[in-house]
Chains A and B, each alone.
Chain A
């Protein structure tokens, strides 16, 4: 039996104090969604159940208190920190949910420059952590585009990845230990050690759980020396994506680890590079970093590989470094984006998948062809690869469409979901993964069973074991 809203609010106030329980109607509406329904939000239309309250937690104890309360009374809890989620992970799919906001837990607890690790609470913006560790000449190596906005809790919960991933890895390669609270209020801490073999790596139950198993309250991440003075920026135009993928592969397979290894197709590239790249060409970008000798050797290795491909032509590296410096999204770009959408009805969406070297170009070509053929009102469809591995790479589909002849509440069903369907179908067909780094959220759950296949058994088991009452972010990862 679920409680009525007033009782929920009262219960929360008892745990957190009245000041920390938000019930303002407008705020609740805006808290019922994330960027997946940004078009509705911009038009002031809210189609999801409105949460009962936003609970602002200030400590692990408060998080535990709220979860225990919710678990006891069967109240759906949506964990939240930086609010940059793009896949519906923050949607309150069930009436009278509680949004548990950890953005107030924003203390950096330790920067240990000797053991090269930093510990912080879940509500610390990555940018803040990065700035602090840079004062010690260090870096987290984590640089998602949302760095100025996203918080450490959310970044861990979504298995995020940064633009320097080819060298530093994704968040899963950076997390040393963590603290998380489970629905019954159990607080668990995983200690910070270099590596251990004491059974399965249980960090991975927590990393990427998207608020469906537990609430992440604290994380410890690795640190690396920050040596930007050694960075070498390389850029090339290339005639076809196929050759571009081939170059990426050779760079990886030959053992080079640039921090950035990217390939833009002509449509996506035109948004960034039209001032120096002729129409119709793809663009390859590399950044070599690290100690001077390694950066130099990496750059030379890449140059030698590229030289084997006569269709690659080098561009001035300052174009690349200038572009790179303006890549991140802060509040200004978010505001500007809203203005654009409001005025033009034109909206930008993305879907990121991955595949091995053998299939990535097929996924890219087929999905794109189908989007253009099957979806109306497309104004741009393209993509880039931005995270490469020894066995394959990702594809970040980037597309814009005009929302016409439908209400704001139909934007998702008319355009976004059909496009997601095409991309997921094509990816699954070739054996790729339907989500590379944004998380499944609620948007891509229709394909989650096909994604997991027989291993879905493990996922369901985790949910049953850690969230037996199903109060954690209903509809996320596991379809409602």
Chain B
């Protein structure tokens, strides 16, 4: 029986929750990949300084990584073998996560080595992924977060699918491997939840799945995989000149606006919870509630 070969793409992003309110301004450039000098935008005005906060797995990508592990476990009960690969585009910071995935049982892990700032370059990202899939020719099912990173545009899964000529479903919440060439997918569409059986190959963009967190390998798991190789690929190996592609990106982030969410924020005073609640009620809620 042929194995289903799953490749999960993931992005390592700054943990925005670790940024303070005051940090949300257009900064000195940065992005996930350091200096951001190679950015597709127009520099300082179009990036928030995120260099100083920790990196985490983008949340939907993290879902996809765990879903793939569970798909293998569920499929293993039957007759279908599943092989897992993971790929990320980025600098050295990515390797820590690739090592973790190896310890969790991902057989192939790959870093596309670039320090180019691809934060707002979905087209370049998609073509790197597509070229990798084409060149290696060993992927049946490509999974990734349905949207990710600071750009959060939701276009990458469809762009990859276009490049490969594969079907694509996004906002995927559940996947089950049925056979070596079919998966059953639940995904959210505009008017409900659509369940569909898809003949592979295909691209799945993982959305708000119940499975949201990646399991954690033990020290023993890590030790067992200590010497396992991480594949490193350059843009050039895939026939891509990343800098040139970046310069061609047709949709460019020019600058950033701080969002003003200001409302009056009038502090309601009082000695006790009771008194404060009463003041709030008397001064504004009473009349509003009467009208409801």
Direct contact of A and B (CB under 8 A): yes
Binding site for B on A (CB under 8 A): 270, 272-276, 279, 316, 318-319, 322-323, 325-326, 332, 339-340, 343-346, 372, 376-381, 400-402
Contact B213 A339 (CB under 8 A): yes
Answer yes or no: B163 CB below 8 A from chain A CBs: no
The proximity string for B residues 90-129 relative to A, scoring 1 for CB distances below 8 Å and 0 otherwise, is 0001001000000000000000000000000000000000
Query: Smallest CB–CB gap between A389 and chain B, Å?
Result: 30
Contact A339 B212 (CB under 8 A): yes
Contact A326 B18 (CB under 8 A): yes
Answer yes or no: B254 CB below 8 A from chain A CBs: no
Contact B216 A379 (CB under 8 A): yes
Further pairs besides A319-B52, A326-B17, A345-B215: 17, Cβ < 8 Å:
A274-B93, A275-B51, A276-B52, A316-B52, A322-B20, A323-B52, A339-B212, A339-B213, A343-B212, A344-B216, A378-B218, A378-B219, A379-B218, A380-B219, A401-B218, A402-B215, A402-B216
Query: Smallest CB–CB gap between A112 and chain B, Å?
Result: 20
Contact A274 B55 (CB under 8 A): yes
Interface residues in B180-239 by Cβ distance below 8 A to A read 211-219
Interface core residue of A273, A322, A326, A400 (most chain B CB under 10 Å): A322
Q: Decide yes or no: A344 and B215 within 8 Å by CB, A275-B93, A325-B20 being known contacts.
A: yes
Pairs across A and B, CB under 8 Å, 18 listed:
A273-B54, A274-B55, A274-B93, A274-B96, A275-B51, A275-B52, A275-B55, A316-B52, A322-B18, A326-B17, A343-B212, A343-B213, A344-B214, A346-B215, A376-B218, A378-B218, A378-B219, A379-B218
Query: Smallest CB–CB gap between B66 and chain A, Å?
Result: 8
* Chain B residues positioned under 8 Å from A339 (CB to CB): 212-213
Q: Chain B interface secondary structure, helix, strand, loop or mixed?
A: loop
Q: Nearest residue in A to B211 (C-beta to C-beta)?
A: A343
Contact-residue size bin, chain B (C-beta under 8 Å from the other chain): 10 to 19
Choice from B17, B53, B216, B219 contacting A322 with Cβ under 8 Å: B53
Q: Nearest residue in A to B51 (C-beta to C-beta)?
A: A275
Contact B216 A400 (CB under 8 A): yes
Query: Smallest CB–CB gap between A300 and chain B, Å?
Result: 24
Query: Smallest CB–CB gap between A441 and chain B, Å?
Result: 26
* Chain A residues positioned under 8 Å from B17 (CB to CB): 326, 332
Query: Smallest CB–CB gap between A397 and chain B, Å?
Result: 15
* Chain A residues positioned under 8 Å from B54 (CB to CB): 272-275
Q: Decide yes or no: A344 and B213 within 8 Å by CB, A274-B55, A275-B55, A319-B52 being known contacts.
A: yes
Query: Smallest CB–CB gap between A468 and chain B, Å?
Result: 37
In whole angstroms, what is the CA distance A386 to B75 when docked? 47
In whole angstroms, what is the CA distance A275 to B18 when docked? 13
In whole angstroms, what is the CA distance A440 to B165 when docked? 63
9 shortest A-B CB distances, which residue pairs?
A: A343-B213, A322-B52, A346-B216, A379-B216, A326-B18, A344-B215, A344-B213, A275-B55, A275-B54
* Chain B residues positioned under 8 Å from A401 (CB to CB): 218
Q: Nearest residue in B to A270 (C-beta to C-beta)?
A: B96
Query: Smallest CB–CB gap between A457 and chain B, Å?
Result: 43
Query: Smallest CB–CB gap between B253 and chain A, Å?
Result: 23
Q: Nearest residue in B to A316 (C-beta to C-beta)?
A: B52
In whole angstroms, what is the CA distance A345 to B213 when docked? 10
* Chain B residues positioned under 8 Å from A276 (CB to CB): 52
In whole angstroms, what is the CA distance A346 to B213 when docked? 10
* Chain A residues positioned under 8 Å from B213 (CB to CB): 339-340, 343-344
Query: Smallest CB–CB gap between B152 and chain A, Å?
Result: 20
* Chain A residues positioned under 8 Å from B211 (CB to CB): 343
Contact A402 B218 (CB under 8 A): yes
The proximity string for B residues 268-279 relative to A, scoring 1 for CB distances below 8 Å and 0 otherwise, is 000000000000
Q: Nearest residue in B to A379 (C-beta to C-beta)?
A: B216
Query: Smallest CB–CB gap between B189 and chain A, Å?
Result: 26
In whole angstroms, what is the CA distance A345 to B66 when docked? 13
In whole angstroms, what is the CA distance A340 to B66 when docked? 13
Interface residues in B36-54 by Cβ distance below 8 A to A read 51-54
* Chain B residues positioned under 8 Å from A316 (CB to CB): 52
Contact B218 A275 (CB under 8 A): no
* Chain A residues positioned under 8 Å from B214 (CB to CB): 344
In whole angstroms, what is the CA distance A67 to B212 when docked? 47
Query: Smallest CB–CB gap between B270 and chain A, Å?
Result: 12
Q: Nearest residue in B to A271 (C-beta to C-beta)?
A: B54
Interface core residue of B51, B52, B53, B215 (most chain A CB under 10 Å): B52
Q: Nearest residue in B to A327 (C-beta to C-beta)?
A: B18
